[in-house]
Chain A
Amino acid sequence: MKITLLNGNMKEESSDFSAYIEKLSEKLCENHSVNSYTLNKMNLYYCIGCWSCWCKTPGRCAINDDAEKIFKSVINSDFVIFASPLIAGFTSSSLKKITDRLIVLLHPYFKLKNGECHHLKRYEKYPDFGLILEKETDTDNEDLAIVKDIYDRFAINFHCHKKYMKIIDQDEIEDIVYETCNI
């Protein structure tokens, strides 16, 4: 199984979150092919909304940075893990930055899905994903419900399913490995 792990942690490497994700990556690597990316250490720019990827060079982004490696890895994976501490009630800007850029993997044309307009697939198959979070001190159930619902929307847009949402101080790494490998 091919897995892409996107770590959106913006704190220093020695944080509990990064240690957790590192351990998860090691466990997954025992039996799977894992591409693990620490986003804040990569040369990544924000999407500038130029839509070159839709109208000039279909399927390719105009920005020349490290994002192509991630696009290639994501679309060829069986599963993607979005990992991030919550900051200001949502996943980090580092993770959101690359999430925005994944629009390159979709097609501009609209189609109706569940009675709503959505962009067409560019590729035949899109990987399902899981979400791993770290709570802030003031995170409450409302915050978690908002994050869950927005990622469920991402799943609709990305023609895939969100398989789980885990919290690092509540969920064991072994359980996440099991759920990731039994999708």
Chain B
Amino acid sequence: MKLAIFNGSPRNKKSNSGLLIKQFLTGYNRVSSDESVSVHYIADRKQKEGLKDIFQKAETVIIIFPLYTDCMPGIVKEFFESIVNLNFTHTKKIGFIVQSGFPEAIHSIYIERYLKKLTKRLKCEYLGTIIKGGVEGIQTMPAWMTKRIFSRFQELGQHFAKNNSFSSKIQEELRKPYKMSLMKRFVFNIINKTGLTNFYWNRNLKKNGAFENRFDKPFKEEINNTQHFV
């Protein structure tokens, strides 16, 4: 299996997607001696021209990206546009990993349908889409908070190395919760009132001296003239 992984995070190498792939490959390398696995960065514009060729030649492809507006980031869409008319001499297998900062999977299920259809359009075999929420902040979380998610991604990689497919059991587990339960929503609303749910944002706002300006509305003004822009 010649596996190529495409990281579609606009953050390039310093991304949550990159961290998840690192875990995936830790598990993968535990059981596979395949040294041809390569990771490529869609946001690395120097690699742009070569990506299409790498995609064309790979036997199995995994594409990971963060959810942007319940969809793929624009830069990933550009990549899809570049490969959609390629023809393949063999049946390529494609799997996707969509990660987001939202705790629930529901935000990501719409793009999952698109990815399945895209794979069909490419005449490739669809390996499924891994959906994982609650990923934002994993780069700064203490180890005890990331232990579970990292070990799941390692298991996912291990299974992939053995079977050339995603484990449906881990896939199912990772996408929980689909939506927050009534109880969780109740608790969320109470915690939200204390401001604790915004801890991550407030910490960063304060660190940057921007906390007092957090509700700024810089673009609220009247536009009266009809204008045309190129």
Residues of A contacting B230 with CB < 8 Å?
38, 41-42
Bitwise interface map of A from 100 to 112 toward B, beta carbon under 8 Å scored 1, else 0: 1011010111111
Number of interface residues of A (CB under 8 A): 67
Q: How far is the CA of A142 from the CA of B113 in the complex (A)?
A: 9
Residues of B contacting A146 with CB < 8 Å?
110, 113-114, 117
Bitwise interface map of B from 177 to 210 toward A, beta carbon under 8 Å scored 1, else 0: 0011000010011001000011001001101101
B94 CB to nearest A CB, Å = 13
Q: Return the chain A residue nearest B200 by Cβ.
A: A108
Asked if A153 CB lies within 8 Å of chain B CBs, one says: yes
Set B81, B106, B114, B204: member contacting A150, Cβ < 8 A? B114
Whether A47 and B74, one on each chain, are in contact in the complex, defined by CB atoms closer than 8 angstroms, is yes
Residues of B contacting A163 with CB < 8 Å?
none
- How many B residues touch the partner, as a band? 35 or more
Asked if B160 CB lies within 8 Å of chain A CBs, one says: no
Whether B219 and A76, one on each chain, are in contact in the complex, defined by CB atoms closer than 8 angstroms, is yes
Whether B70 and A153, one on each chain, are in contact in the complex, defined by CB atoms closer than 8 angstroms, is yes
Asked if A60 CB lies within 8 Å of chain B CBs, one says: yes
A12 CB to nearest B CB, Å = 14
Whether B107 and A142, one on each chain, are in contact in the complex, defined by CB atoms closer than 8 angstroms, is no
Whether A60 and B106, one on each chain, are in contact in the complex, defined by CB atoms closer than 8 angstroms, is no
Within 8 A of B (CB), among A1-52: 2, 25, 29, 32-38, 41-42, 46-51
Whether A76 and B10, one on each chain, are in contact in the complex, defined by CB atoms closer than 8 angstroms, is no
Q: Return the chain A residue nearest B75 by Cβ.
A: A46
Asked if B95 CB lies within 8 Å of chain A CBs, one says: no
Residues of A contacting B72 with CB < 8 Å?
96
Whether A88 and B81, one on each chain, are in contact in the complex, defined by CB atoms closer than 8 angstroms, is yes
Interface stretch among A67-75, A127-135, A166-174, A175-183? A67-75
Chain B residues in the interface with A (C-beta under 8 A): 9-12, 15, 43, 66, 68-75, 77-78, 80-81, 84, 102-104, 106-107, 110-111, 113-114, 117-118, 121, 179-180, 185, 188-189, 192, 197-198, 201, 204-205, 207-208, 210, 213-230
Chain A residues in the interface with B (C-beta under 8 A): 2, 25, 29, 32-38, 41-42, 46-51, 54-60, 68-69, 71-73, 75-76, 87-90, 92-94, 96-100, 102-103, 105, 107-112, 115-117, 122-123, 138, 142-143, 146, 149-150, 153-154, 157
A to B CB contacts below 8 Å, 29 in the list: A33-B224, A41-B230, A47-B10, A48-B12, A49-B11, A57-B210, A60-B218, A76-B220, A87-B81, A88-B80, A89-B118, A90-B80, A90-B114, A92-B81, A93-B74, A99-B71, A100-B73, A103-B69, A109-B197, A109-B201, A111-B192, A115-B179, A116-B104, A116-B106, A142-B117, A143-B117, A149-B110, A149-B113, A153-B69
